Amino acid sequence: MKSMTDHADPWSVPVIVAQIPDTGVHREIEAGPAARDAMADISGLREILSASASLDLTPEKAGRVHVAGRVRARIGQTCVVSLDPIENNIDEAIDLIFAPPEQIPELADLVDEAAESDAEIPDPPEPIVNGVIDLGRLATDALFLAIDPYPRKPDAVFKPVIEAADPEDHPFAALKALQPSAKPRAPKKPKNR
């Protein structure tokens, strides 16, 4: 399987943060055939039949942006039991905060402090790169994380091959060939005293 760093982002839908209105913006995005083929290649899937995302971007204080929504896809995989082709649906929620890169260390420290308490630990924010949030990359990452690494047909059952045991097939069978062919001796009788 190839890593995401080996390829340019196959599904790229950049949104310029400065152009997001104060009321927020809603985006419906869908990956085209070339993007789906490239994503399938990167992720090791047989195919990606469809991939789309519905996302809301809401500006927050200090240049941060809240991105929430869902990514949906239909993917082709191979059953790990029967090796038959199967199709699976993905419906994954997305709920992330993006922040300017200079805020990331400070916000990551807050996450570390929250880890020491009993409060729910928030995820550290994602960086806004060059004033842009790439919704396609975000949806691709969410899709990849939702893939079942061991897909299985609902009715697939593993049946191990059972072979009749050969009485001559055991760990000491090779030693039997080294044994002299003479008749086995009768066991010695204990001496009476």
28-76 pLDDT per residue, tens: 999 999 999 999 999 999 999 999 999 999 999 989 999 999 999 999 9
Q: How confident is the model at residue 124 (pLDDT cuts 50, 70, 90)?
A: confident
- Kindly report whether the global pTM for this prediction surpasses the value 0.85: no
What's the mean pLDDT when you consider all of the chain? Answer: 84
pLDDT, residue 1, reads 39
pLDDT, residue 3, reads 41
Q: Which residues contact 131 (CB under 8 A, 6 or more apart)?
A: 16, 17, 18
Share of the chain above pLDDT 90, in %: 58
Domain positions in the chain are 4-146
How far are the Cα atoms of 20, 34, 97 from residue 119, in angstroms, in the given order?
Answer: 32, 44, 18
Q: How confident is the model at residue 167 (pLDDT cuts 50, 70, 90)?
A: low
pLDDT, residue 64, reads 92
CA distance 104 to 62: 12
CB 128 within 8 Å of CB 99: yes
